[in-house]
Amino acid sequence: MRARKEDADLDVRWQGPVSPPRIWHFARDGSLLGSFASSSPDDLTVAPDGTVWVVNSSGGVRHYATDGVLLGHFDTGFTGANHSLDLAPDGTIWSSIGSLVLHFEQDGTLIQSFPSGGNAHFLVGSNQGMVTPPRSAGPLCLACGFQGCSGIGRYSRAGEIIQGPTGSLQVDLTALPLSPMHAVVPGETWNFQLWHRDLGSSNFTDAISILFH
């Protein structure tokens, strides 16, 4: 099992059986940069800042610095083998176990949960960008630079999640889901894109740009 951060000289792997289990940190040339003990992970992923997120079969999620310092942890509340773990572009955490998909803030606050299958949500940003998040099969084409808004807005509240092969969203132009909320005014251009699961990983559709008159 491994997770790569593609834009850095970094390769993080779990290796076993050893006691206690360890996570190994390698340079791309194979030289060992370090290792640290961890519970045996069902899945792990590397964040854009190089830190490591791990989920185990007991439902525990742990966040490590590359030197093994524990930065935070929480319990999903669900046990069983084959947990998966993904980081969304906005930094929130997606985990799945069996037929259930869980969506958490980084402090462990549960945002939502729903049965697995086709699921997706729309994103909105004032600027355009091009970055491929870790473990994504495609690029995120949005960025946020409008006044004081924080991050990229996501339509992931109840009723906004798309489940199934098709879906649509009625956008409230008086309350784009940014921080703070924003009402669109004539002359502004906003960009929209759909995040979705894709064969066990994640992906994005093509983005669209809309000029509002």
d(CA 105, CA 117): 21
Summarize pLDDT for 9-42 with one digit per residue, the tens: 444 444 444 556 778 777 777 788 777 777 777 7
**Of all residues in the chain, what percent carry a pLDDT higher than 70?**
76
- Name the nearest CA neighbour of 25 among 14, 39, 16, 38: 14
Summarize pLDDT for 50-93 with one digit per residue, the tens: 888 888 877 888 898 878 888 988 888 777 666 778 887 777 88
**Mean pLDDT, rounded, for 95-105:** 74
CATH entry, 2-115, from 3.10.180.10, 3.40.50.2020, 3.10.580.10, 2.120.10.30 = 2.120.10.30
Confidence class for position 148, pLDDT limits 50, 70, 90: low
In this predicted structure, what is the pLDDT of residue 200?
A: 59
CA separation, residue 19 to residues 12, 39, 52, 90, 183 (Å): 18, 10, 20, 35, 55
What are the sequence ranges of the domains in the chain? 2-115, 119-211
In this predicted structure, what is the pLDDT of residue 164?
A: 66
The string of DSSP letters for 111-159 reads EEEEESSSEEEEEEESEEEEE--TTBSS-EEEE--STT--S-EE--STT
